Amino acid sequence: MLSLRGAAKAGIKRDDATFKPGGLSGGIAERLEQTWIVPVQSFKIGDEEIRNTQLRVSEIDLDNVDMLIGADFFLSHRIFVANTQHKLYFTYNGGPVFRLEVAGNQPPTVASTDRPPSPAT
């Protein structure tokens, strides 16, 4: 999930016609946030590039954080959390990276390399 602030940094504007209603989303807190689904041509984390996907954007406010990585990402990757380094290492394991239930959703394509896992900070 990408915050509206993070989306704006990436050039995705809330008044864009590509914003589709995504319903309400919640987490640990009782508060629900409005979300939208937006198409994204390319999305890169470390050395991994995900093409032709969609991201969920929300009014979520997490201080200095612009994105939450959810279970859908973790299910399609091997993950190593290096707490002492404040880094997340991952490799693509196969399957859908972002699973958003939207009519006409095209499966994303992942461009990966034969390099070792990339750190993401």
Query: What is the pLDDT, as a whole number, of residue 55?
Result: 87
Instruction: Supply 46's token pair.
Output: 């470390």
pLDDT value at 35 more than 60: yes
- Give the domain ranges of the chain: 2-120
d(CA 5, CA 26): 18
pTM of the model: 0.65
Write the pLDDT tens digit of every residue in 75-90: 888 888 899 998 888 8
Environment class of 84 (CB within 10 Å of its CB; exposed 0-12, middle 13-18, buried 19+): exposed
Which of 95, 94, 84 is CA-nearest to residue 119?
84
Give the helix ranges, DSSP H, for the chain: 4-9, 71-75
pLDDT in tens, 8-28: 988 888 877 788 888 888 777
